[in-house]
Amino acid sequence: MSIAHHIDTCLATLGTDAFAPAFADFVETLNIDQIMVFAIDADHARCLLSRHFSRAALAGQLAATYLDGWYLEDPLLPDLRAAAPGTVTLCPFDGIEARMSPEYRRIFFDAPGLLTKTTLLAVGTRLRLFVSLYQTGTDRPDPDLARLAGRLALMHFEASGQSTTPPALAVLSTRERAVCLGILSGQKAEAIAADLNVAPSTVITYRKRAYAKLGITSRTSLFAICKG
């Protein structure tokens, strides 16, 4: 599938649940190993998308850690807060590496084996996004396509409105999302099964599939990446 086709699919699915998997497919063609999209609000951060293309669990772990206060240590946070609406700014790794604390570098790069990243500061009328493209190698993505990825993410999440469903769950199927929403509301497998008219064992299967797609392994991590 050509890059042009991937882009066309992303544009056709803006603001819908079909965007997240289409966008992930597009980003993967850019020689990216992991993508993270976070919305930064006045006093907290939200995970909108988290995906490692070969080590699924890693993305969920890093997203949960980042949301647990570490986003405040992001060296690009002042730049994102100061960026003008309507802009998408590309920030290469070598321009921010020296601004990282040793512990931040260890947690988000050295320990998980991520050598570099390209960050897009994408700012709209409603959202301020970090769109981070991580790599285990040193070949950087085409800067124009990286900027386009940032612009597409901004267009989608601005268009998707104020849904009550956590954006991180957009990559899931309808049933997988329903199971996760049930878990987030405190329901047991039996109650979720009754709501969906399926067996409890089927709920467990959906939960396992959902966790694998989200790159998480526990309820705690689910709550962490879905908190808003």
Q: Say yes or no to pLDDT of 162 above 60.
A: no
* Tokens 């190993």, residue located: 33
In this structure, what CATH number is given to the domain that contains residue 192? 1.10.10.10
- The total number of structural domains that make up the chain: 2
Q: What is the DSSP letter of 23?
A: H
Among candidate residues 132, 159, 186, the one where a domain is terminated: 159
Q: By the 8 A CB rule, do 29 and 135 touch?
A: no
Q: Is residue 164 part of a domain?
A: no
In this structure, what CATH number is given to the domain that contains residue 88? 3.30.450.80
pTM of the model: 0.78
Q: Is residue 167 part of a domain?
A: no
**Over the stretch 105-149, which tens digit does the pLDDT of each residue have?**
999 999 888 888 999 999 999 999 999 999 888 788 899 999 999
Residue 221 structural domain: 172-226
Q: Is residue 165 part of a domain?
A: no
Q: Is residue 61 part of a domain?
A: yes
Q: Is residue 200 part of a domain?
A: yes
Q: What share of the chain is helix, strand, coil (3-state, %, to 5)?
A: 55, 15, 30
Q: Identify which of 19-23, 92-96, 116-120, 182-186 has the greatest average pLDDT.
A: 116-120
Rg from Cα positions in the chain: 17
Q: Which amino acid is at 208?
A: K
Residues 68 and 147 occupy one common structural domain: yes
